[in-house]
Amino acid sequence: MVHAQPVDQEPEAVRLRVLSYNVHGQRDDTAALAAAVRSVEPDVVIVQEAPRRFRWRQRCAALADRLALVVAGGGLPSLGNLLLTNLRVQVLRTWCRQFPLTPGRHMRGAAFAECAIGSARFVVAGSHLSTDATERPGQATLLKADLAAVHLPLILGADLNENSGGAAWRTLADGLTDAAVAADRADRCTYSCANPRDRIDALFVSSQFRVVDYDVVDTEQTRRASDHFPVLVDLLLPVTRA
């Protein structure tokens, strides 16, 4: 992990560890997936390709249990985006977005959760954009409008299905901090595990957060667990006292 800045002098702040992970529909080594996530002890996991069809509630709950977390929101209403937290995080409310369906394509969406750790409040969002380059910019524009309506510190984890030069990526990154860039690690690829060549998985934060650490978790376990590497970010959120 990259240690961007010392934080010992900031007691009035909350540390938050966030993992964003496309789990490939749990079609790979699920034991390796569980071990990989548990080993990094995240506070929040933003999942793409989570259960979204038959018995999705039970399957999302089972995934959370394997990862030693609880379901915060998402699943079918967000079309496969799932937000998980540990018990340190209080979930205050959740909501979801579904993007308009293009005939012949998979529906896409986003999940949102307003959360708190003590007096620190923030919003976590997760999304997975289309593989179709003609669809992604429109989806990004809709998602950006939802993000703009959030007036709390914001975290967005997403599989954008394009690199940072793409139109959808630029739309979502506007006004937010790309955690990889902040940590000088934008050269780390997230896809594919078999042949790492692209950074299509991103984690963005609003200006209230400070990026302390950033990593693309490349281990024997993560190479067996999915076709994407997970993105792991340590954040610091100053606490505003009333």
The full length of the chain comes to 242
Q: What pLDDT was estimated at residue 242?
A: 55
Any idea what the CATH number is for the domain that residue 28 is in?
Answer: 3.60.10.10
Per-residue model confidence as pLDDT tens for the chain (242 residues): 555 555 444 458 999 999 999 999 999 999 999 999 999 999 999 999 999 988 999 999 999 999 999 999 999 999 999 999 999 999 999 999 999 877 657 789 999 999 999 999 999 999 999 999 999 999 999 999 999 999 999 999 999 999 998 999 999 999 999 999 999 999 999 999 999 999 999 999 999 999 999 999 999 999 999 999 999 999 999 986 65
Say if 58 falls within a structural domain. Answer: yes
Verdict on whether the full-model pTM lies above 0.85: yes
Expressed as residue numbers, the domain containing 129 is 19-238
Give the separation between CA 139 and CA 141, rounded to whole angstroms.
Answer: 5
Give the separation between CA 101 and CA 106, rounded to whole angstroms.
Answer: 7
Q: What pLDDT was estimated at residue 10?
A: 46
Say if 1 falls within a structural domain. Answer: no
Q: What pLDDT was estimated at residue 12?
A: 86
Report the number of distinct structural domains present in the chain: 1
Q: Nearest CA to 175 among 202, 199, 144?
A: 144
Q: Nearest CA to 218 among 4, 40, 90, 12?
A: 40
Q: What pLDDT was estimated at residue 100?
A: 87
Say if 26 falls within a structural domain. Answer: yes
Say if 7 falls within a structural domain. Answer: no
β-strand 120-128 against 154-159: which pairing, if any? parallel
Say if 68 falls within a structural domain. Answer: yes
Say if 89 falls within a structural domain. Answer: yes
Q: What is the CA 81 to chain-centroid distance, rounded?
A: 9
Say if 12 falls within a structural domain. Answer: no
Give the separation between CA 86 and CA 140, rounded to whole angstroms.
Answer: 29
In sequence order, the β-bridge partners of residue 127 are 110, 158
Say if 205 falls within a structural domain. Answer: yes
